[in-house]
Structure formats: C-alpha cells, structure tokens
C-alpha cells in the first residue's frame, strides 16, 4: 500500500494491529519525509505514530536507530523511546513500516538561552559517549560522496533550474564541491543524532533530543554546529557555552571546528537535492512554494558564492574567544 494513501481508517487499523486503540485525536503533525500522527489512547496516553517513507530506510536501518535510542536512554540521555510490543519496536502493516512513541511534553528549546545551551552540550556529550561505542552496521556515513556527489546528480536530473542559469549554477556548485571535498577530512567518527537543531529539541526539566531519523556516523561537531548563529563573536560565545556542558562529560577535539563550514556546505547542497528529489510528492510544492522558481535558483548563485568565501576564511577558533 502507498503511504500517500494513508486514511484515518488505515491508521486506526495499523494501531490495532499492535494492540493500541485510537480513542481521540489523530492529528497530522508537521513532517515531510515521513507521515506522523498524534493521537490519544485511554490506556497508553498521548502517542505519536510515524509511518516511514518507503525505500528510504530498510527495516534493519530503522531498528538500528531504535537500538541506539535504547542505548542512549540507558546512559541517561533524554530521548523518547519507541513502544515495544513482543520485543519489537518497528512494525509492518500493509507493507508499511511504522513505529509509535509516547508524546513528549515540553516547550520550545531556546537556542539563545545560554543555560539551556550548556545543558544541551552536556546531553550531546553523553550522546557521543554512547556513539563512540555504538557502531552502525546498516546506516550510512556522513560523507561527501552522499551529501555532495550524489546530491549533484540529483540536482542535474531533477531540479528545474532555468536554462539561462544552469551553466553558471553548476560551475559554482562544482567549485564548492571541489573545495569541500578537500577540506572535509574527519579524523574520528561516531554515531550521531546528525540533525541536531532547535526544532528537534524540547525543553522539559532539561533538553530532550527528538527525531533521530537521520542518525548516522560522522564527526562529533556535526551535532554542535547547527546550534550556532549570528556574528562570529556570537557563534564563539555559543560554542564556548555548548562545550562547557559537553566537556563535563567528554573531551572535544577542537581541530573539528575546521569541519563546520564544509559540513554547512554539505547540508546546503544535500537540502537542495532533497527538495528536488521529493518534488513529485504533493506535500513539497504545497509547503515549499519558493523552491524550484527562477528567483530561488538566481538566489542560490549568491548563496554558493557566500559559502565559498566562508570555506576560504579561517575556521572558528576558541583561542580567539578565550
């Protein structure tokens, strides 16, 4: 069954297949890659069901994400754990993979709150302590092959770039890819959240890390850099605060700061390719109307130039802050 055709009746039947009753709610949540619904069960409370996009992750890859969550919770990392039924947390209904979580109560994480930022740093340190000892056997590594070279092929075949901009766009993109491939040379890699930004964190007596859907292997700084914003001095202050919490738990290799701009470039290109690849999904034109327009691709020429300048600039250095 195609998960685009999920109806309330199908969702209710899927929940009943694992012994859950949908007593009220069944509200679609903001998710583009998967289909996610919140509902209430009188027996189990508020729950969130996630139906995974077909062909994105295998059942073994999803199970590996869940197993990582169980290992994190055992190490006192604040994560939501999927429900387990008959020793399983990944379920199949009508050929669709799905899982169910208790709904996490909390308020929005305040990225400009230094106390919250330091507490997040400590949680990420605990997460990485586990990540060092939890190798992924089925999930991919954060790599330039995937985030840049594969993404470029997607953009070349799927993106609706105006003909008059196409040559210049790919000229600048290729320069960005070449420079990033030289600079992105991580020394140590571990299992990461990999998509750690404010929208994937809730605050309830501390930070709760949500949505490990992009979990994979990569350098530790990947879970830190997306929390940095503003001027260089503001970013240094935020980084210093994050690391004050992080290094209560484990040491951070400051040489990884040189990976921040390469990682930003990789995320930027991968994001464009993700939108282009998903454009046939009706949810994407409806929610990203600015993408695939002539104005968007014209703006990307400047964005690529700006990122090339950042790649050429000296990386952040804590010695210049302290």
Tokens for 256, please give them: 């990884």
Q: Give the bridge partners for 101, in sequence order.
A: 48
Active site residue 211: yes
b/e burial code for range 44-65 (CB count within 10 A of at least 16 → b): beebbbbbbbeeebeeebbbbb
Q: Which ranges of the chain does DSSP label H, i.e. alpha helix?
A: 8-16, 59-74, 114-132, 144, 151-158, 163-183, 232-246, 260-277, 283-287, 294-312, 318-321
Active site residue 13: no
Catalytic residue among 44, 146, 205, 211: 211
- Torsion, Cα of 125, 126, 127, 131 (10° steps): 90
Please give the Cα distance from 5 to 265 (Å, whole number).
35
Backbone angles phi, psi at 40, to 5 degrees: -120, 135
Catalytic residue among 23, 195, 213, 240: 195
Place of tokens 């209710």: 12
Tokens for 201, please give them: 């964190």
Please give the Cα distance from 308 to 295 (Å, whole number).
20
CB 264: neighbour CB atoms within 10 A? 17
- Catalytic residues, by residue number, are 195, 211
């Amino acid at each position: 069954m195609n998960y685009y055709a999920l109806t309330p009746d199908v969702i209710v039947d899927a929940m009943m297949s694992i012994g859950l009753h949908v007593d009220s709610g069944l509200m679609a949540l903001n998710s583009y890659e998967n289909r996610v619904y919140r509902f209430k069960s009188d027996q189990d409370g508020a729950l969130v069901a996630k139906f995974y996009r077909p062909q994105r992750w295998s059942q073994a890859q999803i199970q590996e994400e869940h197993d990582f969550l169980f290992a994190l919770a055992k190490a006192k990392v604040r994560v939501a754990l999927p429900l387990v039924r008959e020793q399983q947390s990944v379920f199949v209904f009508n050929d669709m993979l799905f899982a169910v979580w208790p709904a996490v109560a909390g308020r929005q994480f305040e990225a400009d709150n230094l106390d919250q930022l330091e507490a997040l740093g400590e949680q990420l340190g605990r997460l990485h302590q586990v990540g060092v000892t939890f190798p992924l056997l089925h999930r991919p590594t954060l790599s330039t092959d995937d985030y840049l070279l594969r993404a470029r092929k997607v953009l070349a075949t799927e993106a609706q770039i105006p003909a008059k901009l196409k040559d210049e766009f790919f000229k600048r993109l290729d320069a960005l890819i070449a420079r990033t491939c030289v600079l992105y040379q991580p020394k140590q890699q571990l299992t990461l959240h990999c998509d750690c930004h404010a929208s994937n964190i809730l605050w309830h007596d501390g930070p709760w890390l949500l949505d490990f859907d992009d979990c994979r292997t990569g350098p530790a700084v990947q879970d830190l850099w997306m929390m940095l914003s503003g001027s260089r001095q503001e970013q240094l202050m935020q980084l210093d605060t994050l690391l004050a919490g992080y290094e209560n738990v484990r040491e951070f290799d400051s040489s990884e700061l040189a990976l921040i701009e390469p990682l930003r470039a990789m995320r930027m290109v991968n994001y464009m390719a993700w939108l282009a690849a998903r454009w046939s999904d009706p949810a994407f034109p409806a929610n990203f109307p600015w993408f695939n327009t002539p104005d968007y691709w014209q703006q990307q020429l400047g964005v690529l130039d700006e990122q090339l300048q950042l790649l050429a600039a000296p990386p952040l250095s804590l010695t210049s802050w302290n």
